[in-house]
Protein backbone atom coordinates (compact mmCIF):
# COMPACT_ATOMS: atom_id res chain seq x y z
CA UNK A 1 0.00 0.00 0.00
CA UNK A 2 1.20 3.49 -0.88
CA UNK A 3 0.96 6.66 1.13
CA UNK A 4 -0.26 9.90 -0.38
CA UNK A 5 -0.06 13.62 0.07
CA UNK A 6 -3.45 15.01 -0.92
CA UNK A 7 -3.52 18.70 -1.73
CA UNK A 8 -6.44 21.03 -2.23
CA UNK A 9 -5.72 23.27 -5.22
CA UNK A 10 -7.01 26.81 -4.69
CA UNK A 11 -5.32 28.25 -1.62
CA UNK A 12 -2.72 25.47 -1.29
CA UNK A 13 -1.14 24.99 -4.72
CA UNK A 14 -2.17 28.35 -6.15
CA UNK A 15 -3.23 31.64 -4.62
CA UNK A 16 -7.02 31.62 -4.43
CA UNK A 17 -8.12 34.49 -6.64
CA UNK A 18 -11.58 32.91 -7.06
CA UNK A 19 -12.44 30.46 -9.83
CA UNK A 20 -8.93 30.40 -11.28
CA UNK A 21 -9.10 28.78 -14.72
CA UNK A 22 -6.55 30.65 -16.86
CA UNK A 23 -2.78 30.22 -16.80
CA UNK A 24 -2.25 33.98 -16.55
CA UNK A 25 -4.26 34.02 -13.29
CA UNK A 26 -2.49 31.00 -11.76
CA UNK A 27 0.01 32.03 -9.07
CA UNK A 28 1.82 29.24 -7.21
CA UNK A 29 1.81 29.47 -3.40
CA UNK A 30 5.27 30.10 -1.97
CA UNK A 31 6.81 26.86 -0.74
CA UNK A 32 4.54 24.42 -2.59
CA UNK A 33 7.37 22.96 -4.70
CA UNK A 34 9.72 22.50 -1.72
CA UNK A 35 6.95 20.83 0.27
CA UNK A 36 6.11 18.44 -2.57
CA UNK A 37 9.77 17.57 -3.23
CA UNK A 38 10.13 16.72 0.46
CA UNK A 39 6.99 14.57 0.41
CA UNK A 40 8.12 12.75 -2.73
CA UNK A 41 11.54 12.10 -1.16
CA UNK A 42 9.75 10.42 1.76
CA UNK A 43 7.72 8.16 -0.52
CA UNK A 44 4.45 10.05 -0.82
CA UNK A 45 2.51 10.04 -4.08
CA UNK A 46 1.02 13.48 -4.71
CA UNK A 47 -2.62 14.05 -5.64
CA UNK A 48 -4.76 17.12 -6.14
CA UNK A 49 -8.30 16.95 -4.73
CA UNK A 50 -10.31 20.00 -5.76
CA UNK A 51 -13.90 21.21 -5.92
CA UNK A 52 -14.45 23.11 -9.17
CA UNK A 53 -17.98 24.52 -8.91
CA UNK A 54 -17.01 27.09 -11.53
CA UNK A 55 -17.84 24.35 -14.06
CA UNK A 56 -21.40 23.97 -12.72
CA UNK A 57 -21.73 27.75 -12.59
CA UNK A 58 -20.67 28.03 -16.24
CA UNK A 59 -17.58 30.17 -15.56
CA UNK A 60 -15.43 27.66 -17.47
CA UNK A 61 -15.83 24.17 -18.87
CA UNK A 62 -14.20 20.82 -18.11
CA UNK A 63 -11.82 21.09 -21.07
CA UNK A 64 -10.54 24.47 -19.83
CA UNK A 65 -10.00 23.08 -16.33
CA UNK A 66 -8.28 19.96 -17.64
CA UNK A 67 -5.96 22.04 -19.87
CA UNK A 68 -4.98 24.18 -16.87
CA UNK A 69 -4.40 21.03 -14.79
CA UNK A 70 -2.13 19.59 -17.48
CA UNK A 71 -0.15 22.84 -17.57
CA UNK A 72 0.07 22.85 -13.73
CA UNK A 73 1.29 19.22 -13.65
CA UNK A 74 3.90 20.08 -16.28
CA UNK A 75 5.20 22.97 -14.15
CA UNK A 76 5.49 20.54 -11.22
CA UNK A 77 7.34 18.09 -13.49
CA UNK A 78 9.78 20.87 -14.45
CA UNK A 79 10.42 21.20 -10.70
CA UNK A 80 11.14 17.46 -10.45
CA UNK A 81 7.74 16.60 -8.92
CA UNK A 82 5.19 14.12 -10.23
CA UNK A 83 1.50 14.82 -9.66
CA UNK A 84 0.03 11.31 -9.78
CA UNK A 85 -3.44 12.59 -10.69
CA UNK A 86 -5.76 15.57 -10.37
CA UNK A 87 -9.22 14.68 -9.10
CA UNK A 88 -11.91 17.31 -9.40
CA UNK A 89 -15.60 17.69 -8.71
CA UNK A 90 -17.42 19.80 -11.33
CA UNK A 91 -20.67 19.78 -9.34
CA UNK A 92 -22.54 22.16 -7.11
CA UNK A 93 -25.62 20.92 -5.25
CA UNK A 94 -27.77 24.00 -5.97
CA UNK A 95 -25.97 26.76 -7.90
CA UNK A 96 -25.22 26.75 -11.58
CA UNK A 97 -26.56 26.64 -15.11
CA UNK A 98 -25.89 23.16 -16.50
CA UNK A 99 -26.01 19.40 -15.96
CA UNK A 100 -23.42 19.66 -13.16
CA UNK A 101 -25.91 21.25 -10.74
CA UNK A 102 -26.64 18.23 -8.58
CA UNK A 103 -25.74 16.59 -5.31
CA UNK A 104 -22.87 14.11 -5.59
CA UNK A 105 -20.49 12.04 -3.48
CA UNK A 106 -17.35 13.69 -4.85
CA UNK A 107 -17.78 17.31 -3.72
CA UNK A 108 -15.87 17.93 -0.51
CA UNK A 109 -16.78 17.46 2.34
CA UNK A 110 -17.78 14.12 0.82
CA UNK A 111 -14.77 11.75 0.48
CA UNK A 112 -15.51 10.50 -3.06
CA UNK A 113 -12.42 11.88 -4.80
CA UNK A 114 -10.12 10.58 -2.06
CA UNK A 115 -11.75 7.15 -2.15
CA UNK A 116 -11.37 7.01 -5.93
CA UNK A 117 -7.65 7.77 -5.58
CA UNK A 118 -7.36 5.14 -2.86
CA UNK A 119 -8.89 2.50 -5.12
CA UNK A 120 -6.95 3.44 -8.25
CA UNK A 121 -3.54 3.76 -6.55
CA UNK A 122 -3.77 1.33 -3.56
CA UNK A 123 -3.31 4.10 -1.01
CA UNK A 124 -3.07 3.52 2.71
CA UNK A 125 -5.23 6.43 3.87
CA UNK A 126 -4.24 6.04 7.52
CA UNK A 127 -0.63 6.86 6.57
CA UNK A 128 -1.56 9.67 4.19
CA UNK A 129 -1.77 13.44 4.68
CA UNK A 130 -4.31 16.00 3.49
CA UNK A 131 -3.46 19.70 3.29
CA UNK A 132 -6.27 22.16 2.66
CA UNK A 133 -7.47 25.63 3.52
CA UNK A 134 -11.16 24.98 4.17
CA UNK A 135 -13.06 23.04 6.83
CA UNK A 136 -14.66 21.01 4.00
CA UNK A 137 -11.15 19.76 3.10
CA UNK A 138 -10.62 18.57 6.67
CA UNK A 139 -14.07 16.95 6.78
CA UNK A 140 -13.47 15.08 3.50
CA UNK A 141 -10.12 13.84 4.82
CA UNK A 142 -11.72 12.77 8.09
CA UNK A 143 -14.56 11.04 6.24
CA UNK A 144 -11.95 9.10 4.24
CA UNK A 145 -9.98 8.02 7.32
CA UNK A 146 -6.94 10.27 6.85
CA UNK A 147 -5.45 10.91 10.27
CA UNK A 148 -3.00 13.72 9.45
CA UNK A 149 -5.09 16.68 8.38
CA UNK A 150 -3.43 20.08 8.00
CA UNK A 151 -5.56 23.22 7.75
CA UNK A 152 -3.70 26.26 6.42
CA UNK A 153 -5.25 29.51 7.59
CA UNK A 154 -7.37 31.30 4.97
CA UNK A 155 -10.46 33.43 4.71
CA UNK A 156 -12.45 30.17 4.94
CA UNK A 157 -11.05 28.65 8.13
CA UNK A 158 -13.61 30.34 10.39
CA UNK A 159 -16.65 29.23 8.37
CA UNK A 160 -19.16 27.13 10.31
CA UNK A 161 -18.09 23.50 10.26
CA UNK A 162 -18.24 20.18 12.04
CA UNK A 163 -14.46 19.72 12.20
CA UNK A 164 -13.04 19.29 15.68
CA UNK A 165 -10.07 21.64 15.77
CA UNK A 166 -8.39 19.36 18.30
CA UNK A 167 -8.18 16.68 15.58
CA UNK A 168 -6.37 18.78 12.98
CA UNK A 169 -3.10 20.65 12.66
CA UNK A 170 -3.80 24.34 12.05
CA UNK A 171 -1.00 26.39 10.50
CA UNK A 172 -0.61 30.04 9.57
CA UNK A 173 1.15 29.30 6.27
CA UNK A 174 1.88 26.38 3.95
CA UNK A 175 5.64 26.55 4.50
CA UNK A 176 5.08 25.41 8.11
CA UNK A 177 3.71 22.04 6.94
CA UNK A 178 7.06 20.42 6.12
CA UNK A 179 7.67 19.30 9.71
CA UNK A 180 4.59 17.06 9.50
CA UNK A 181 5.80 15.19 6.39
CA UNK A 182 7.35 12.04 7.87
User: pLDDT band at residue 61, thresholds of 50, 70 and 90?
Assistant: very high
How many C-beta neighbours within 10 Å does residue 15 have?
14
Strands (E), the chain: 3-7, 44-51, 83-89, 129-132, 148-152, 169-171
For residue 67, what are the CA distances in angstroms to 72, 94, 114? Answer: 9, 26, 22
Range of lowest pLDDT (20-34, 85-99, 152-166): 152-166
Q: What is the assigned CATH class of domain 3-156+168-180?
A: alpha beta
Q: Could you tell me the residue ranges of all domains in the chain?
A: 3-156+168-180
Confidence of residue 1 (pLDDT cuts 50, 70, 90): confident
Among 123-127, 133-137, 160-164, name the one with the lowest average pLDDT.
Answer: 160-164
Q: How far apart are CA 113 and CA 97, in angstroms?
A: 23
Sheet containing 44-51: give its strands across: 83-89, 44-51, 3-7, 129-132, 148-152, 169-171
For the question of residue 8 being annotated catalytic, the response is yes
pTM listed for this prediction = 0.95
Q: Which residue in 10, 16, 133, 137 is the catalytic one?
A: 10
The single residue of 8, 16, 133, 137 carrying the catalytic annotation is 8
Amino acid sequence: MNKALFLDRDGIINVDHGYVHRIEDFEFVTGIFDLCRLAASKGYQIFVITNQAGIARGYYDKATFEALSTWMANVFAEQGITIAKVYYCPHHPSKGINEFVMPCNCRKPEPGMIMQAQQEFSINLAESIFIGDKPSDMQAASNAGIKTRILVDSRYTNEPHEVKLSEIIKLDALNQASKYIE
